[in-house]
Amino acid sequence: MLKSTFVLLFATMITNSFAQSNKDSLAIVNLLEKEAATWRIGDKKGHADCWAVRPYSRILISTTDARVIDLDPQIMLTPPNQLIGNGGKAILSNFKIGITGNSAWVSHNEESISKEGGSTFSYEVRLLEKVNGAWKLVGQSVHQYKK
């Protein structure tokens, strides 16, 4: 009887943990899609809401011409007008998500399509934290590549 109770309790804990992980994974993917969309439509407030800049936040971008850009994370909260709202869309795919407590990392692919129809491609690693029950980006590493 005790063994059956233990097995049932363990199965319930695993199921609840898996359900929470799926819920968090979906919330994270939705956040990343929102962050990409708000950048392209020029919604500064919506974009800033996706981020929680910390003292350890960092944004690194490696370009197809072998440059590395160390972008000030504050730019995600108050981007200059010439950087945000240039239209187009992003297609995010191939998500790999690791969640531990209130921290998460995500790797994914992105195809960024300009309003003229040209595409650029990147592998991205995103770092997130849960802040007041909501997932927020705290850093990212973007690696552009040519197809």
Note the pLDDT tens digit of each residue in 66-94. Answer: 999 999 999 999 999 999 999 999 999 99
**Residue 68 C-beta-side C-alpha neighbours within 13 Å:** 5
SS3 content of the chain, % helix, strand, coil (to 5): 35, 40, 30
pLDDT at 2: 55
Strands 103-113 and 89-100: antiparallel
Note the pLDDT tens digit of each residue in 31-73. Answer: 999 999 999 999 999 999 999 999 999 999 999 999 999 999 9
Count CB atoms within 10 A of the CB of residue 61. 16
Fold annotation for 2-145: Nuclear Transport Factor 2; Chain: A, (3.10.450)
The model's pTM: 0.85
* C-alpha to C-alpha distance for 37 and 89, rounded to whole angstroms: 7
Split at pLDDT 50, 70, 90, the class of 21 is confident
Note the pLDDT tens digit of each residue in 103-144. Answer: 999 999 999 999 999 999 999 999 999 999 999 999 999 999
Phi/psi class of residue 108: alpha, beta or left (left: φ > 0; alpha: ψ in -120 to 50)?
A: beta
